[in-house]
Amino acid sequence: MKKKKGVTQHTPKSKQSNNIKLGKEDSMLHHFAQGKRLHRFQAEHLGDHCLHTTVSDLQSKYVIFFDRVRVKVPNRFGTLTSVTKYWLTGDNLLKAQKRFGLGSKEVA
């Protein structure tokens, strides 16, 4: 069985003892904390096969709210599929960034 690669968290020097391998939820939250916007097909490439469940779990666990919008994206059959794109803004983004010691810059 292959092990999946996670994102390595780099903590600020004041808290740094070792680099920490993140699990799926924290790995996805780290992507969103960097200001990234993702839909289910983009999340697949990051190892998340059920993004809507991950977003729901993150909202419950960290008391944050994800902005979202329905978009149409091309699928592998050459037609369009409607999916939800998720991202963090405002205080929700700041909460996620604080968890990883990231700056407070919003990125589109």
pLDDT of res. 31: 95
2 falls within a domain: no
Query: Does a structural domain hold residue 66?
Result: yes
- List the one residue out of 30, 12, 29, 11 whose CA is nearest residue 20: 11
Tell me whether residue 3 is in a domain.
no
22 versus 66: the higher-pLDDT residue is 66
Residue 73 is assigned to a structural domain of this protein: yes
Number of domains in the chain: 1
Residue 105 has pLDDT above 60, yes or no: no
CB-based contact 26:52 (threshold 8 Å): no
Of residues 49, 43, 12, 15, the one with CA closest to residue 29: 43
- Residue 35 belongs to domain spanning: 21-100
Does residue 105 belong to any structural domain of this protein?
A: no
69 found inside a domain? yes
- Say what the pLDDT of residue 5 is: 52
In a domain, 12, yes or no: no
11 has pLDDT over 60: no
Average pLDDT over residues 8-35: 69
- 1 found inside a domain: no
The residue ranges of DSSP E strands in the chain, in sequence order, are: 8-9, 20-21, 67-74, 80-87
